[in-house]
Amino acid sequence: MKIGRALSAGLLLFGAASNAGAGQTTIGNWIVTTEADRFSEGNTVIALTAQEGGLFAVRCIQNTFSLAISNRATAGELKEGDLFKIKFRADNLPVVDTIGEAINNSVIEVLTTPEMRGELTIAREYALRVTSAAGTTFDSVFKAGFAAKALPPVLRACPQKKDE
């Protein structure tokens, strides 16, 4: 039950709607929400999982694809606009270096690469190492679980651009 409450709270933090117009489905360890955009700028589709004090989201918001993470250790401590160095690793595949930005006091949006996007549905585990400008580092590890079934709606909502 705690995970269910964490996922519901996470959906609010990560930008998913909580109104009656939003569709919500549970697929294994993921909650997937879809909300139609009223201004034709692209729907919002978010897949979210909660594990060991952290939240991990795969998001398509107005045709923009991104990942987002939150960690119990930093929740409420971030400042909007703070920048982070991020190392992303799916299973034992090569580490991908990218960046992240705090979008509120609890959530870091992670810039994705085509490699990361391609690894999301095939991996069994995602590991992220987040380092602040001050040098503070935390690691978050998430089991992919049912990602192969939960993530396709997000990926369809944000098709990969030809120049990626």
- Tell whether 19 is covered by a domain: yes
The whole domain housing 96 covers 2-157
Please state the domain count of the chain. Answer: 1
pTM value? 0.84
What's the rounded Cα separation, in Å, for the pair 25 and 130?
A: 29
Within a domain: residue 163?
no
Residue 164 covered by a domain: no
Residues of the chain with pLDDT under 50: 1-12, 17-20
- Phi/psi for 156 (5° steps) reads -65, -35
Please state, in angstroms and rounded to a whole number, the distance separating the CA atoms of residues 153 and 32.
Answer: 8
> Does residue 91 lie within any of the structural domains?
yes
What pLDDT does 161 receive? 74
Phi, psi of 21 (to 5 degrees): -80, -5
* pLDDT, tens digit, 9 for 90 and up, residues 112-139: 999 999 999 999 999 999 999 999 999 9
pLDDT of residue 164: 56
The answer for residues whose C-beta is within 8 angstroms of residue 138's C-beta and 6 or more apart is 71, 73, 74, 129, 130
Q: What is the pLDDT of residue 17?
A: 46
What sign does the CA torsion over 52, 27, 155, 120 have?
positive
Q: Which CATH number do you get for residue 61?
A: 2.60.40.1880
Q: Is 162 inside any structural domain?
A: no
Burial grade of 42 (CB within 10 A; 0-12, 13-18, 19 or more): middle
- For residue 9, what pLDDT is reported? 45
| Residue 59 forms part of a structural domain | yes
Which residue in this structure is represented by tokens 């069994």? 124
Tokens linked to 31: 């909650």
55 falls within a domain? yes
C-alpha span between 93 and 88 (Å, rounded): 10
